[in-house]
Amino acid sequence: MPKAVAVTADDLKPQRASRPTSATRQRGAIASEDLESLGFKLDPQFIHEFKLAALHKGMKLNAFLIYLFREFEKSEKRE
């Protein structure tokens, strides 16, 4: 027969749950509440192509956009 566990009033008080960190967020990554939206619209065909390209690269859309921008910056410096 299992032993009874004593429960105190402290055990019944609501506790603030700590916010779990995302399994995908890396050390030093910006928390989502600190991010800003770009808020622009694009042609649906382009969006489809962009999503496919990110998928083939194995990247999330925002990470893919950042990657492309960094590559653009590198190419501008070479010119």
The answer to whether residue 54 sits within a structural domain is yes
How many structural domains compose the chain?
A: 1
Q: Give me the pLDDT at residue 32, please.
A: 77
Residue 44, in any domain of the structure: yes
- pLDDT tens, position by position, 13-38: 777 666 555 555 566 677 878 888 88
Grouping H, G, I as helix, E, B as strand and the rest as coil, residue 1 is coil
Asked if residue 59 is part of any domain, the answer here is yes
pLDDT for res 23: 53
> What DSSP state is assigned to residue 13?
S
Instruction: Note down the domain range covering 79.
Output: 40-79
CA 54 – CA 24 distance, rounded (Å): 16
Distance CA 32, CA 13 (A): 30
User: What integer is the mean pLDDT of 51-73?
Assistant: 95
CA 60/CA 50 separation, integer angstroms: 11
Crossing angle for the helix pair 44-57 and 61-78, to the nearest 10 degrees: 90
Residue 20 lies in a domain: no
Q: Is the pTM of this model over 0.75?
A: no
